[in-house]
A and B are shown apart, each in its own frame.
Chain A
Amino acid sequence: GENVEQHPSTLSVQEGDSAVIKCTYSDSASNYFPWYKQELGKGPQLIIDIRSNVGEKKDQRIAVTLNKTAKHFSLHITETQPEDSAVYFCAASSTGGFKTIFGAGTRLFVKA
Protein backbone atom coordinates (compact mmCIF):
# COMPACT_ATOMS: atom_id res chain seq x y z
CA GLY A 1 0.00 0.00 0.00
CA GLU A 2 0.92 3.64 -0.07
CA ASN A 3 3.39 4.89 2.49
CA VAL A 4 5.36 7.98 3.44
CA GLU A 5 8.82 7.68 4.92
CA GLN A 6 10.16 10.54 7.03
CA HIS A 7 13.72 11.24 8.20
CA PRO A 8 15.21 11.86 10.61
CA SER A 9 13.06 10.67 13.49
CA THR A 10 14.84 13.04 15.85
CA LEU A 11 16.68 16.26 15.07
CA SER A 12 18.52 18.49 17.50
CA VAL A 13 19.80 21.89 16.39
CA GLN A 14 21.20 24.99 18.02
CA GLU A 15 19.03 28.08 18.09
CA GLY A 16 19.56 30.06 14.92
CA ASP A 17 20.63 27.07 12.86
CA SER A 18 18.57 25.55 10.05
CA ALA A 19 16.61 22.31 10.25
CA VAL A 20 15.74 20.07 7.33
CA ILE A 21 13.26 17.20 7.38
CA LYS A 22 12.90 14.90 4.39
CA CYS A 23 10.07 12.69 3.19
CA THR A 24 9.52 10.26 0.37
CA TYR A 25 6.21 8.93 -0.84
CA SER A 26 5.20 5.92 -2.88
CA ASP A 27 1.88 6.83 -4.48
CA SER A 28 2.58 8.57 -7.78
CA ALA A 29 -1.00 9.89 -7.74
CA SER A 30 -0.23 12.07 -4.70
CA ASN A 31 -0.65 15.72 -5.55
CA TYR A 32 -0.90 17.53 -2.22
CA PHE A 33 1.78 17.60 0.46
CA PRO A 34 1.01 19.27 3.79
CA TRP A 35 3.31 19.65 6.77
CA TYR A 36 1.96 19.65 10.30
CA LYS A 37 3.45 20.74 13.61
CA GLN A 38 2.26 18.96 16.72
CA GLU A 39 3.02 20.29 20.16
CA LEU A 40 2.61 18.26 23.32
CA GLY A 41 -1.02 17.62 24.14
CA LYS A 42 -2.31 19.26 20.97
CA GLY A 43 -3.52 18.12 17.60
CA PRO A 44 -1.43 18.57 14.44
CA GLN A 45 -1.53 22.10 13.04
CA LEU A 46 -0.89 22.85 9.37
CA ILE A 47 2.18 25.02 8.91
CA ILE A 48 2.72 24.90 5.16
CA ASP A 49 1.62 22.88 2.17
CA ILE A 50 2.59 22.43 -1.44
CA ARG A 51 0.82 21.10 -4.50
CA SER A 52 2.26 19.02 -7.27
CA ASN A 53 2.33 21.86 -9.79
CA VAL A 54 4.78 23.84 -7.66
CA GLY A 55 8.40 23.01 -6.91
CA GLU A 56 8.96 25.28 -3.95
CA LYS A 57 6.97 27.38 -1.51
CA LYS A 58 8.15 29.70 1.22
CA ASP A 59 6.45 31.33 4.19
CA GLN A 60 8.76 33.47 6.30
CA ARG A 61 11.22 31.07 7.97
CA ILE A 62 9.60 27.95 6.57
CA ALA A 63 10.01 26.56 3.07
CA VAL A 64 9.01 23.34 1.38
CA THR A 65 10.46 21.80 -1.76
CA LEU A 66 8.99 19.08 -3.92
CA ASN A 67 10.64 16.78 -6.45
CA LYS A 68 7.83 14.82 -8.08
CA THR A 69 10.15 12.80 -10.26
CA ALA A 70 12.04 11.47 -7.27
CA LYS A 71 8.94 11.50 -5.03
CA HIS A 72 10.77 13.54 -2.43
CA PHE A 73 9.67 16.59 -0.50
CA SER A 74 11.41 18.47 2.28
CA LEU A 75 10.72 21.01 4.99
CA HIS A 76 13.30 23.69 5.70
CA ILE A 77 13.19 25.85 8.81
CA THR A 78 15.70 28.66 8.97
CA GLU A 79 16.79 30.69 12.00
CA THR A 80 15.27 28.13 14.35
CA GLN A 81 13.88 29.28 17.68
CA PRO A 82 13.12 27.31 20.86
CA GLU A 83 9.40 27.59 20.11
CA ASP A 84 9.98 25.59 16.93
CA SER A 85 10.58 22.55 19.16
CA ALA A 86 7.77 20.10 18.40
CA VAL A 87 6.99 17.01 16.33
CA TYR A 88 6.66 17.63 12.62
CA PHE A 89 4.70 15.38 10.27
CA CYS A 90 4.78 15.29 6.52
CA ALA A 91 1.87 13.87 4.59
CA ALA A 92 0.94 13.00 1.04
CA SER A 93 -2.53 12.88 -0.35
CA SER A 94 -4.43 12.44 -3.57
CA THR A 95 -7.98 12.59 -4.80
CA GLY A 96 -8.84 15.88 -3.19
CA GLY A 97 -7.02 15.21 0.05
CA PHE A 98 -9.39 12.49 1.04
CA LYS A 99 -6.72 9.85 1.39
CA THR A 100 -3.87 11.30 3.38
CA ILE A 101 -0.89 9.23 4.45
CA PHE A 102 1.27 10.64 7.23
CA GLY A 103 4.93 10.10 7.93
CA ALA A 104 6.00 8.82 11.34
CA GLY A 105 7.10 12.26 12.48
CA THR A 106 10.32 14.10 13.36
CA ARG A 107 10.90 15.32 16.86
CA LEU A 108 12.75 18.63 16.59
CA PHE A 109 14.67 20.02 19.54
CA VAL A 110 15.96 23.57 19.30
CA LYS A 111 18.54 24.27 21.99
CA ALA A 112 18.78 27.82 23.27
Chain B
Amino acid sequence: EAGVVQSPRYKIIEKKQPVAFWCNPISGHNTLYWYLQNLGQGPELLIRYENEEAVDDSQLPKDRFSAERLKGVDSTLKIQPAELGDSAVYLCASSSGVGTDTQYFGPGTRLTVL
Protein backbone atom coordinates (compact mmCIF):
# COMPACT_ATOMS: atom_id res chain seq x y z
CA GLU B 1 0.00 0.00 0.00
CA ALA B 2 1.38 3.38 -1.02
CA GLY B 3 1.94 5.90 1.74
CA VAL B 4 1.18 9.59 1.80
CA VAL B 5 2.73 11.26 -1.21
CA GLN B 6 3.91 14.86 -1.21
CA SER B 7 5.47 17.03 -3.86
CA PRO B 8 7.71 18.78 -4.35
CA ARG B 9 10.17 17.50 -1.76
CA TYR B 10 12.13 20.73 -1.80
CA LYS B 11 11.28 24.24 -2.89
CA ILE B 12 13.38 27.40 -2.89
CA ILE B 13 11.70 30.70 -3.67
CA GLU B 14 12.25 34.37 -3.11
CA LYS B 15 10.09 36.25 -0.65
CA LYS B 16 6.83 37.62 -1.96
CA GLN B 17 6.57 34.78 -4.49
CA PRO B 18 3.71 32.27 -4.38
CA VAL B 19 4.26 28.58 -3.68
CA ALA B 20 2.05 25.51 -3.64
CA PHE B 21 2.42 22.08 -2.08
CA TRP B 22 0.54 18.96 -3.10
CA CYS B 23 -0.47 15.96 -1.06
CA ASN B 24 -2.08 12.63 -1.96
CA PRO B 25 -3.24 10.73 1.14
CA ILE B 26 -3.39 6.99 1.64
CA SER B 27 -6.17 5.53 -0.45
CA GLY B 28 -9.45 5.48 1.44
CA HIS B 29 -8.34 7.91 4.13
CA ASN B 30 -11.02 10.52 4.61
CA THR B 31 -9.12 12.76 7.01
CA LEU B 32 -6.22 14.85 5.76
CA TYR B 33 -3.99 17.15 7.78
CA TRP B 34 -1.47 19.81 6.89
CA TYR B 35 1.20 20.50 9.48
CA LEU B 36 3.98 23.04 9.77
CA GLN B 37 7.26 21.85 11.26
CA ASN B 38 9.85 24.43 12.17
CA LEU B 39 13.44 23.37 12.70
CA GLY B 40 13.86 21.59 16.01
CA GLN B 41 10.13 21.57 16.75
CA GLY B 42 7.24 19.19 16.57
CA PRO B 43 4.56 19.43 13.89
CA GLU B 44 1.86 22.06 14.38
CA LEU B 45 -1.53 21.65 12.77
CA LEU B 46 -2.47 24.14 10.07
CA ILE B 47 -5.68 22.61 8.77
CA ARG B 48 -7.66 19.38 8.93
CA TYR B 49 -10.06 18.10 6.30
CA GLU B 50 -12.85 15.60 6.62
CA ASN B 51 -13.40 14.59 3.02
CA GLU B 52 -13.63 17.92 1.19
CA GLU B 53 -14.64 19.96 4.22
CA ALA B 54 -12.11 21.97 6.22
CA VAL B 55 -13.27 21.23 9.77
CA ASP B 56 -10.39 22.84 11.66
CA ASP B 57 -8.49 25.73 10.10
CA SER B 58 -8.14 27.80 13.24
CA GLN B 59 -4.33 27.78 13.03
CA LEU B 60 -4.11 28.60 9.33
CA PRO B 61 -2.86 32.19 8.70
CA LYS B 62 -5.61 33.04 6.29
CA ASP B 63 -4.13 36.29 5.11
CA ARG B 64 -1.52 34.42 3.09
CA PHE B 65 -2.26 30.69 3.37
CA SER B 66 -5.01 28.80 1.63
CA ALA B 67 -5.81 25.15 1.12
CA GLU B 68 -8.23 23.07 -0.84
CA ARG B 69 -9.34 19.50 -1.16
CA LEU B 70 -11.91 19.77 -3.88
CA LYS B 71 -12.78 16.13 -4.48
CA GLY B 72 -11.98 14.89 -1.00
CA VAL B 73 -8.84 13.09 -2.09
CA ASP B 74 -5.67 15.04 -2.81
CA SER B 75 -5.04 18.48 -1.41
CA THR B 76 -3.07 21.61 -2.17
CA LEU B 77 -1.66 24.10 0.32
CA LYS B 78 -0.73 27.52 -1.02
CA ILE B 79 1.20 30.47 0.34
CA GLN B 80 0.90 33.84 -1.35
CA PRO B 81 2.99 35.86 -0.84
CA ALA B 82 5.70 33.88 0.95
CA GLU B 83 7.67 35.51 3.74
CA LEU B 84 11.10 34.67 5.15
CA GLY B 85 9.49 33.22 8.26
CA ASP B 86 7.60 30.65 6.20
CA SER B 87 10.78 28.63 5.71
CA ALA B 88 9.95 25.27 7.27
CA VAL B 89 8.87 21.73 6.45
CA TYR B 90 5.24 21.32 5.46
CA LEU B 91 3.94 17.89 6.35
CA CYS B 92 0.81 16.19 5.14
CA ALA B 93 -0.79 13.35 7.07
CA SER B 94 -3.89 11.24 6.69
CA SER B 95 -6.01 8.94 8.78
CA SER B 96 -8.99 6.76 8.09
CA GLY B 97 -10.99 9.10 10.24
CA VAL B 98 -13.51 6.60 11.45
CA GLY B 99 -12.99 6.03 15.13
CA THR B 100 -9.26 5.86 14.68
CA ASP B 101 -6.50 8.14 15.78
CA THR B 102 -3.42 6.99 13.92
CA GLN B 103 -2.03 9.54 11.51
CA TYR B 104 0.33 8.58 8.71
CA PHE B 105 2.74 11.25 7.54
CA GLY B 106 4.24 11.98 4.19
CA PRO B 107 7.92 12.91 3.74
CA GLY B 108 7.19 16.64 3.78
CA THR B 109 8.13 19.56 1.59
CA ARG B 110 11.07 21.62 2.77
CA LEU B 111 10.47 25.26 1.86
CA THR B 112 13.25 27.82 1.84
CA VAL B 113 12.30 31.46 1.34
CA LEU B 114 15.19 33.74 0.39
A104 near B101 with CB under 8 A, answer: no
Cβ contacts under 8 Å, A93 to chain B: 101
Provide the main secondary structure of the chain A interface: strand
Q: Which of B23-47 contact A (CB under 8 A)?
A: 31, 40-45
A45 near B105 with CB under 8 A, answer: yes
- Taking residues whose C-beta sits less than 8 angstroms from the other chain, chain B's interface range is 20 to 34
Most buried by B among A36, A41, A43, A45: A43
B40 near A43 with CB under 8 A, answer: no
B95 near A43 with CB under 8 A, answer: no
Nearest CB in chain A: distance from B110 CB, A: 8
Partner of A100, one of B4, B97, B103, B106: B103
B45 near A100 with CB under 8 A, answer: yes
Cβ contacts under 8 Å, B101 to chain A: 32, 34, 49, 93, 96-97, 100
Most buried by A among B41, B103, B106: B103
Nearest CB in chain A: distance from B94 CB, A: 11
Known contacts: A97-B95, A98-B31. The answer to whether A46 contacts B42 by CB under 8 A is no
A43 near B102 with CB under 8 A, answer: no
A: residues with CB less than 8 A from B are 4, 6, 32, 34, 36, 41-46, 49, 89, 91, 93, 96-100, 102-105
Known: A46-B102, A96-B101, A98-B48. 8 other contacts (CB 8 A): A41-B107, A44-B43, A46-B104, A97-B100, A99-B45, A100-B45, A102-B44, A104-B42
